[in-house]
Amino acid sequence: METTQEKTPVEVRIEPLRGLPLILEVAGGVGRTLGLTLLWGLEIVRDSYFRLLDRLNVRPRHKRASAFPPGQPKKRTASTR
């Protein structure tokens, strides 16, 4: 179905970057690429480490872990309002 209203034409101008803005755009692209490469490399190392632990059959813990430290809990004093 065609609409009865026509869209107004939009004039698009593409201006090439020159000088400092061009250098900043290229440097930003190179920085992002290097950052992602570093993250991917670290992820590869992490995955390899955990695969090695799996191959060596190393279990995460021998006993259950607790969120609370060992020992008696501290005595709380009642606050008066």
Cα–Cα distances in angstroms (integers) from residue 27 to residues 19, 23, 31, 38, 39, in the given order: 13, 6, 6, 16, 18
Encoded tokens for 64 = 């259950």
**Is 0.85 surpassed by the pTM of this model?**
no
Looking at residue 35, its pLDDT comes to: 97
CA distances from 55 to 50, 63, 66 (A): 9, 21, 27
Give the pLDDT band (50/70/90) at residue 65: confident
C-alpha–C-alpha distance, residues 63 and 70, integer Å: 14
pLDDT score at 2: 61
Q: What is the pLDDT of residues 69-81, one digit of tens each?
A: 788 877 888 776 6
In whole angstroms, what is the distance from residue 42 CA to residue 52 CA?
A: 15
Question: For the segment 1-59, what is each residue's pLDDT rounded down to a tens digit?
Answer: 566 678 888 999 998 989 999 999 999 999 999 999 999 999 999 999 999 999 998 88
